[in-house]
Chain A
Amino acid sequence: MTSYNRDSLTFYLVGAIALILIFRLVYLQVISFSYYRQISDENRIRLVSVPAPRGLILDRNGKRMVTNRTSYALSLVPSQTQDMKSIARKISTILNLDLNYVEEKIKTGWVNKYTPIKLMKDLDFKTICILEEQNEELPGVRWQVEKVRSYPAPYWSGHLFGYVGEVSQKEMDDSREKGLTLGSNIGKDGLEKQYDEVLRGEDGMNYLEVSAAGKFLGPLKDKKSLPFTVGSDLVLSVDSDLQVEAESALSKFNAGAVVALDPQTGEVLTLVSKPGFDPNQFSSFLDENTWQSLVNDPSHPLLNRVIQGGYPPGSTYKLLTAGAALESGIVDRNSTFYPCHGGYLFGNRVFRCWLPKGHGSLNLIQAIAQSCDVYFYQLSLKLGLDRWSRYAVLCHLNEKYKIDLPDEIAGMIPSREYYERKFGKGEWIKNLVINLGIGQGEVLTTPLGLAVFYSALVNGGTIYQPHLLKEIRSVEGRSTPKPKTALFQLPFSSSTLEILKEGLVEAVNSPSGTGGLARIPEIQVGGKTGTAQNPHGKEHAWFVGFAPAENPKIVVAVLVEQAGHGGTYAAPVARRIIERYLKGNSTESNAAEETKVQTD
């Protein structure tokens, strides 16, 4: 075997390849010459991409939330126009557009003389008729039918779904393999971005023969068109009725957020952030002014407060303090402290309770139910800063929960090291726990973080990954369900969790509890109010509730910005969501009851 002469073998091998290439050349240039010459002389091959319809987005009951609708787009073929300038001027007068905008579009969209430049998207039928009437004067101007996304109109749509837009050069550079071409639409935010590859499908492609003048002659002979593949549908765990309910419950407030989870699975049942934006306005080319006004709006409509808003949690974190203290063996359910007279003197400063007349002597359950600050000042001091922040970290309150939406932020848990870096070393630092213990100070959470924490408190201690996706449904009908994923475990024993839950139920159901406005006839609700100090204005109102208390099916976190007491403003919102979800309808709470109940 080895006796081959490698020198001559090499020459034969290379020679053989050379012969193959020569035969191929003869085949192409002599035998098939006339065929190829014809294509090249008379015709040009043109590739026309046929965009694949994006997958739909359905709610948990199969109701369509995001669909595709037909619209008209306008484009310009440079090779068929003599005078670019005058065409641009005519278009800008007919469509009532800025001339600079049209010229800019032509400049940035230019690929070559034969490729249409898209000028406008989502035109109405009337405009198309006007253009059609004048088409003699508008050589090279064409309109075509295309599919655009159609979102339900309310303000929460934008945060949940995001929107779709033309791929930018940078996005193309970043993701070469995804099969993107200029003009492709991709998801830019929200679920559209998160599940872009699932929703997008594959664009189809037509090979067309085109005459030298640019006239389409028909499909190419030796090349079959490639059909598009429709994108897969997303089935969400979100309930669209609940979305509407949450929107209407927030209607009297300027800004706020609502998120509801199924505590047993992590499924997101509703997610609303106010103010929001309507993603439908992105279906046409968004003009610069609209975009700037969205970005510069002082109320930040683009911010998804549920996952991107960091707020002090206020009294809702008293459960963390109580849980840590129970686990550390500092208290049991019956422990009492120095009674509350409306304030607590520590050093030379008086820390006030929210109830000026004071709560008197309370045990732990009552302290949670009535949200007594003085009780928790003393409990926090006993627990100490280090233990408090260690338990907060063990509860994973400073983590992202990998919800399937882009740009989630994590909560903030200050520690001794944090303060020492910020203020320098000092014995006094440990006293900052007084404020942290009642959820004030540097501690921050997102509404989602709070909902996740409370879900774990009431489901036996498991932190599930919150997710909006229930399943992916392909065109062929194959469905891929999203499995529930346990992320972490709370560091609390079941007896601790039971005591905490008892406190939460009492907070809503005992006459002196702060969450009375969340009460629902026939359903036992539990929950905690919170009122977060806000240096910029009135306090933020919090309420986190769950029901039914014995086997919770829903946990809802409500934040109302700059409203006042959580029990007054946030609890009724939560009540409506819970009632709607468990009973199928909701009722306005009666005003008489509202005045009777004491709130935090």
Chain B
Amino acid sequence: MNFFRLKTEEFDFKLFACALLLSLIGVLLIYSAKHASTPNEKGLFLKQLFWLSFSLIAASIIFLIPLRLHEILSYLYYLSAVLLLLAVLFIGATRLGATRWFELKGLTFQPSEWAKIATVFALSRYLAYSRRSYRSILWIGTVAVIGIIPLLLVLKQPDLGTSLVFLALIFSMLYWAKVPLLFILLICSPIISLVAGFHWISWGIFFLFIIYILYLLRPGFFFSAWVLILNLGFGILTPLIWNRLHDYQKLRVLVFLDPNRDPLGAGYQIIQSKVAIGSGGIFGKGFLHGSQTKLAFLPMQHTDFIFSVAGEEFGLIGSLIFLAIFFYLVFRGFSIAAKSRNSFSSYVAFGLTSILAFQGMVNLGMAMGLLPVTGVPFPLTSYGGSSLLISWVSIAILLAIHYRWTEY
């Protein structure tokens, strides 16, 4: 193939345009969010612009790399990501009680961002080549272990939002591997048991339901045994552990489940975000005229709550356009996954798009007060160099898969 002559008919301009638009809107919103701030923060949009240019250059280089190379290096990528995640726990910089960043001369990098992509590659590689059936414990176990190692390392930092991304990734890959939906439910069942275990009735009902599904699917003795043991274990352990926790420890769990209990943090942000979006109305207050935004009621309006700025200043119309661009991008990503002739590329495309989609949707749900605050940035739009760079790397790989989708 020819690297140097771009075959325009196969370059996905639509996907590229959506990603570029979201990034540029992000720069505008960051400018608006911070233009009334201290001189120090005023320039954040310039920093973001710099990161955008850097990301675009990186994306063009990644675009040129043959997919075959990624495929060969998949497990190496994964290994490097796990090592970086381990390293950051020991030598990373600590801010607000979380150790997530490498710091070098004022530049910071968050290895968990790279781990997302690396895990997609590793899972795709395994899923594309494994000949085992989804009913094999070994198959399920391998997929779970690949996903759970980075998940736990990220959770240790602690970064709940990003570890949820890994959880979502595991399940979307299983989904794309054509594992039956009820079977996926069985795999999630220990997690549901953990939550249902707070009350014995809810847990009992769920447990009977699991037995019924096992009866329907008959997935084999070992698998069934594992599902039952794990469900029983979690169902019994949860109340036991819960009752042994101190009051303040219980409160921490409850605050996570119900952020309104944490009035200074999450609950407050959600109210302010809803006020910002709601007060925007149909037409919005106009660029740079968002009073909620300007008065800095929202502490993280340039990162996690960037959408509230859009909602306040551009109203329903602006928000719908924003949603349209985002969901169109997600659809493009999924259709690349569907169209790809190559199993590995298809998994990669689906995994990367799932991550973008999950982060975007969770972030929107959070800004609109539908989900608890977990600290997931909006891909491509939120302020943050590592997140922007990795989002663009994902886009570049999607573009590359589309560009060469007939190949190999």
Interface residues of A (CB under 8 A from B): 1-2, 4, 6-7, 10-11, 14, 17-18, 20-22, 24-26, 28-30, 32-33, 35-37, 39-41, 44-45, 47, 49, 112, 172-179, 181, 197, 202, 205, 207, 223, 226, 474
Contacts and interface: CB of A to CB of B under 8 A. Distances in A.
A40 B327 contact: no
A44 B176 contact: no
A41 B291 contact: yes
A45 B315 contact: no
B297 to A, nearest CB: 7
B352 to A, nearest CB: 14
7 A-B pairs closest in CB distance: A176-B97, A36-B278, A205-B263, A40-B279, A7-B338, A28-B278, A29-B316
B368 A25 contact: yes
Interface residues of B, number: 58
Contacts of B230: none
B56 interface: no
Contacts of A39: 275, 279
Given A17-B361, A30-B316, A40-B292, A2 B370 contact: no
A207 B297 contact: no
Contacts of A35: 278
A1 B180 contact: yes
A44 B175 CA distance: 46
Contacts of A474: 247
A21 B365 contact: yes
Given A36-B274, A207-B271, 18 more contacts: A2-B180, A11-B331, A14-B327, A21-B323, A24-B368, A25-B368, A29-B277, A29-B280, A33-B281, A35-B278, A45-B271, A45-B297, A47-B268, A173-B94, A176-B96, A179-B252, A179-B262, A205-B263
Q: Describe A's contact surface by its main secondary structure.
A: helix
Contact of A30 (B180, B263, B282, B292): B282
B144 to A, nearest CB: 20
10 contacts: A14-B330, A21-B364, A24-B370, A25-B277, A35-B278, A36-B277, A44-B295, A173-B96, A197-B246, A197-B248
B333 to A, nearest CB: 10
Given A177-B97, A181-B264, A21 B368 contact: yes
Given A14-B331, A21-B364, A37-B279, A45 B272 contact: yes
B281 A10 contact: no
B178 interface: yes
B296 interface: yes
B251 interface: yes
Contacts of A14: 327, 330-331, 334, 357
A22 B327 CA distance: 11
Contacts of B96: 172-173, 176
A35 B277 CA distance: 12
A372 B311 CA distance: 88
Contacts of A22: 320, 323
Contacts of A30: 281-282, 316
A173 B278 contact: no
Contacts of B387: none
B319 interface: yes
Contacts of A49: 263-264
A346 to B, nearest CB: 53
Nearest to A49: B264
B368 A207 contact: no
A119 to B, nearest CB: 22
Contact of A41 (B181, B279, B297, B331): B279
B98 interface: yes
Interface string B261-303: 1111000100110111111111000000001100111000000
Contact of A45 (B275, B278, B361, B369): B275
Interface in B86-128: 94-98
Contact of A25 (B268, B275, B311): B311
Contacts of B247: 474
Contacts of B237: none
Contacts of A21: 323, 361, 364-365, 368, 370
A1 B219 CA distance: 14
Contacts of A10: 334, 338
A474 B247 CA distance: 10
B276 A40 contact: yes
A362 to B, nearest CB: 56
A44 B292 CA distance: 9
A241 B41 CA distance: 58
A44 B319 contact: no
Contacts of B312: 40
Interface in B301-317: 311-312, 315-316
Contacts of B271: 45, 207, 223
Nearest to A197: B248
Contacts of A47: 263-264, 268
B278 to A, nearest CB: 3
Most B CB within 10 A of own CB, among A36, A173, A197:
A36
Contact of B327 (A2, A18, A41, A44): A18
B182 interface: yes
Given A14-B357, A197-B248, A202-B251, A175 B281 contact: no
B139 to A, nearest CB: 15
A6 B175 contact: yes
Contact of B97 (A28, A32, A173, A202): A173
Nearest to B370: A24
B274 to A, nearest CB: 6
Nearest to B317: A29
Nearest to B278: A36
Given A35-B278, A173-B94, A6 B176 contact: yes
A207 B269 CA distance: 12
A47 B299 CA distance: 13
A567 to B, nearest CB: 48
B278 A33 contact: yes
A7 B346 CA distance: 11
Contact of B263 (A18, A178, A197, A226): A226
Contacts of B311: 25, 28-29
Nearest to B290: A40
Contacts of B280: 29
Contacts of A207: 263, 271
Given A173-B94, A223-B271, A28 B181 contact: no
A112 B181 CA distance: 50
A36 B361 CA distance: 23
A49 B182 CA distance: 47
B275 A36 contact: yes
A20 B255 CA distance: 25
Contacts of A197: 246, 248
A177 B263 contact: no
A115 to B, nearest CB: 11
Interface in B164-192: 175-176, 178, 180-182
A17 B291 CA distance: 29
A572 B70 CA distance: 82
Contacts of B98: 176
A174 B97 contact: yes
A451 to B, nearest CB: 30
A488 to B, nearest CB: 27
A226 B255 CA distance: 13
A40 B295 CA distance: 10
Contacts of B251: 179, 202
Interface string B343-379: 0000000000000010001001100111000000000
A37 B295 contact: no
B223 to A, nearest CB: 16
Given A11-B334, A17-B361, A28-B274, A36 B252 contact: no
Interface in B41-70: none
Given A11-B334, A40-B291, A45-B271, A29 B180 contact: no
Nearest to A29: B316
A11 B335 CA distance: 9
Given A28-B277, A33-B278, A44 B97 contact: no
